[in-house]
Amino acid sequence: MPAAQVHPQQDARIAALYAYEVLDTEPEREFDEIVRLAAATCGASISVINFIDAERQWFKAETGLGVRETPLASSLCSHVILENDFVEIPDTLLDQRMIDNPLCCGDPGLRFYAGALLKTAEGLPLGTLCVLDYEPKQLTPLQRDTIRVLAGQVMAQLELRRTLKHAEMLRKEVDHRVKNSLQSLSSLVRIAGRRAKAEETAQALATVGSRIDAVAMLHQELYRTDAGPIIDLFQYLENLMAQFRQIAPANVTLTSQVIEVKVSSTQAVAVGTLINELVANAFKHAFPDGRPGQIDVVVTEKSEGRRISVNCRDNGVGLAEDADLSTAGIGMQIAAVISAELDAKLKVDTKASGLDVTFEFAKTV
């Protein structure tokens, strides 16, 4: 039998085929359903999604054939990729390209073929979606259109998968660079804080560092969940509390009670930074001389679920009785600024043992 000619753009065609990374992959339901529908619609015994490699014909999906690949020497589709978008051969034994093909001449032989090219956007043919049968026949216009549409769906699937894989690679690269940048920035801020001579400067830099940490944790949560700008506050704060427990003084216990609630990423950063500030402040000032104590973080819903309340309290030494909360220290001043981002007002209670700080903000998600 005459072998099919090599495609005039063979190198580019093969490179395009390999770029889809579809060869030698496992069968998949989406493609299996396409060949079953094609066979049923056309009343054909066989239907395949095939790709023409340099030395073989490989089937991503097949029904009625029973093999995953065949040599190019017996491939009908290796001829078809040299033709137009759609090829129909009512009787293969009357076609010079197929007349002595062992698949057609055998008993039973394949006597009917119809296939639509699987082409890239640049027009490079990768293979075909085709139907075959053991008797000569002819398709109706509707059957031909069905094959064309299903071939388009095959390519749409391949393009979507390649785009998603490319996007995932870019996403991983961005994630890697963002994490490295945030880690570097956090280290520089901490170095500057240790070298700062003024207490207020050191404390301000520490808050900047906690802000960076909150953003880094937010980035990690966004990457983990792929939730876009919406954050699961429960998981976000649980991760934050886990980090606090790793650096907590041995004499301090941390507990958390957080409801399952979604917030915007902007709100999550503000909440995380503010809790970070309050917990760090308690670590530093609430339990002097190794005094044992506890810090509790509680998040609840208020106003029938329209608002979120965050309470951070400790049973430490609290503030001095004559402390002016408006100027009680740069830590509290910074906390007030951050709470303003949430359009929330800090409520500070220092009458009982320790310090109890609460703020509420509107639920926007």
- For 32, other C-beta atoms within 10 Å of its C-beta total 15
User: Quick check: helix, strand or coil at residue 49?
Assistant: strand
**One domain for residues 350 and 232:** yes
- For 199, other C-beta atoms within 10 Å of its C-beta total 10
Q: What is the pLDDT of residue 325?
A: 52
Residues of the chain with pLDDT under 50: 1, 327
CATH at 347: 3.30.565.10
In-domain check, residue 211: no
Contacts of 123 (CB under 8 A, 6+ apart): none
For the entire predicted model, the pTM comes to 0.55
- Tell which of 136, 162, 188 closes a domain: 162
**One domain for residues 105 and 245:** no
Tokens matching residue 231: 């954050």
**One domain for residues 128 and 49:** yes
- Tell which of 112, 142, 162 closes a domain: 162
In-domain check, residue 181: no
Handedness of CA 175, 177, 178, 183 (dihedral sign): positive
Q: What is the pLDDT of residue 45?
A: 93
**One domain for residues 156 and 232:** no
**One domain for residues 140 and 247:** no
In-domain check, residue 33: yes
**One domain for residues 142 and 244:** no
In the DSSP assignment, the letter for residue 290 is: G
User: How far apart are the C-alpha atoms of 93 and 269, rounded to whole Å?
Assistant: 72
Handedness of CA 314, 317, 321, 322 (dihedral sign): negative
CATH at 37: 3.30.450.40
In-domain check, residue 214: no
What does DSSP say about strands 356-362 and 347-349: parallel, antiparallel, or unpaired? antiparallel
Q: What is the pLDDT of residue 106?
A: 67
Contacts of 327 (CB under 8 A, 6+ apart): 333
In-domain check, residue 172: no
User: How far apart are the C-alpha atoms of 248 and 236, rounded to whole Å?
Assistant: 18
Q: What is the pLDDT of residue 8?
A: 81
What does DSSP say about strands 252-258 and 293-302: parallel, antiparallel, or unpaired? parallel
User: How far apart are the C-alpha atoms of 273 and 265, rounded to whole Å?
Assistant: 12
User: Which residue type sits at 132?
Assistant: L
Q: What is the pLDDT of residue 157?
A: 92
Calculate Rg over the CA atoms of the chain.
34
**One domain for residues 34 and 144:** yes
Q: What is the pLDDT of residue 23?
A: 93
146-182: pLDDT as tens digits: 999 999 999 999 998 888 887 667 666 656 666 676 6
**One domain for residues 145 and 234:** no
Q: What is the pLDDT of residue 16?
A: 92
Q: What is the pLDDT of residue 310?
A: 93
**One domain for residues 16 and 128:** yes
Edge-to-edge strand order for the sheet containing 125-133? 69-71, 56-63, 46-52, 125-133, 112-119, 86-89
- Classify the phi-psi angles of 318: left when phi > 0, otherwise alpha if psi is within -120 to 50, otherwise beta: left
User: Quick check: helix, strand or coil at residue 263?
Assistant: strand
Q: Which run of H or of E encompasses 14?
A: helix 10-19
In-domain check, residue 290: yes
SS3 content of the chain, % helix, strand, coil (to 5): 50, 20, 30
In-domain check, residue 45: yes
Q: What is the pLDDT of residue 22?
A: 93
**One domain for residues 158 and 241:** no
**One domain for residues 255 and 123:** no
Q: Which run of H or of E encompasses 115?
A: strand 112-119
Q: What is the pLDDT of residue 349?
A: 82
Nearest to 274 by CA among 188, 232, 355, 337: 337
Q: What is the pLDDT of residue 12?
A: 92
- Helix locations, 248-355, DSSP H: 265-285, 330-341
With contact defined as beta carbons under 8 Å apart, do 344 and 360 qualify?
yes
Q: What is the pLDDT of residue 211?
A: 63
User: How far apart are the C-alpha atoms of 292 and 4, rounded to whole Å?
Assistant: 84
Parent domain of 347: 228-362
In-domain check, residue 191: no
User: How far apart are the C-alpha atoms of 108 and 346, rounded to whole Å?
Assistant: 84
- Tell which of 110, 140, 162 closes a domain: 162
**One domain for residues 241 and 103:** no
Number of separate domains in the chain: 2
